[in-house]
Chains A and B, each alone.
Chain A
């Protein structure tokens, strides 16, 4: 079975540019999560969706960040404009909406903002 698929795997761009990260969850999963991982702050939940609806976006750092889930098989995380402090690994994860079901992670996108 295909796991969570993220693209791109690496992204290097200049400050001020728009960045779009993409995620395809596991088929049949109805919850989707975006995390950011840095050395200083560890793994932080940015936002999560259930049945394509954003449930909690309290972790989104500021208005420059936005996330969408137009359908059950696709989500995007956008940063506009990007800043060097946004450099991190961004993970997408999906799960089945039942309390004891684990989250399955994609391979992450390593984002570098110059």
Chain B
């Protein structure tokens, strides 16, 4: 069974600085998808960024980028120029390419951006 581990329960960063959230996963699959979701205090689950395992290029969405290391099974999220609105829980998630559409989530990292 696939597992997703987020080793940092909580992190904090100063506004305008850069922060990196860690995620590792365990799978025997070769083709899969990885996602980062953001959950602000309003409770919504918002997709931040996604990565296809067959793509070597790291995904980027504005201030958000990932460092995908397939051999190491690592998928970290970098937030540049942090803003107060980035304060949220961040969840890393995994989905296999074949078979089930199940998303397997990590436990989350609580990020606080300080003014």
Q: Give the interface of A toward B (CB within 8 A).
A: 31, 33, 42-43, 45, 48, 50, 55-56, 89, 91, 93, 95, 97, 99-100, 102-105, 107-108, 110
Among the stretches B19-27, B67-75, B77-85, B101-109, the one at the interface with A is B101-109
Residues of A within 8 A of B103 (CB): 33, 45, 103
Q: Which residue from B44, B50, B105 sits with its C-beta under 8 Å from A43?
A: B105
Query: Given A42-B107, A89-B43, is A102 in contact with B101 using a C-beta cutoff of 8 Å?
Result: no
Q: Which residue from A43, A91, A95, A110 sits with its C-beta under 8 Å from B101?
A: A95
Contact A102 B43 (CB under 8 A): no
Q: Give the interface of B toward A (CB within 8 A).
A: 33, 35, 37, 42-47, 50, 52, 91, 95, 97-98, 100-103, 105-108
Q: Which residue from B44, B47, B50, B52 sits with its C-beta under 8 Å from A107?
A: B44
Which partner residue on chain B sits nearest A102 by CB separation? B47
Residues of A within 8 A of B52 (CB): 100
A60 to B50, CA, bound (A): 27
A29 to B50, CA, bound (A): 19
What are 12 A-B interface contacts by the 8 Å CB criterion? A33-B101, A42-B105, A45-B103, A48-B101, A56-B100, A95-B101, A99-B33, A99-B97, A103-B103, A105-B46, A107-B42, A108-B44
Contact B101 A100 (CB under 8 A): no
Residues of B within 8 A of A107 (CB): 42-44
Contact A100 B45 (CB under 8 A): no
Contact B33 A56 (CB under 8 A): no
Contact A31 B45 (CB under 8 A): no
A33 to B42, CA, bound (A): 20
Residues of B within 8 A of A89 (CB): 43
Q: Which residue from A45, A91, A102, A108 sits with its C-beta under 8 Å from B35?
A: A102
Contact A100 B102 (CB under 8 A): no
CB distance from A17 to the nearest CB of B (A): 23
Q: Which residue from A42, A48, A100, A105 sits with its C-beta under 8 Å from B50?
A: A100
A108 to B46, CA, bound (A): 12
Residues of A within 8 A of B45 (CB): 91, 93, 105, 108
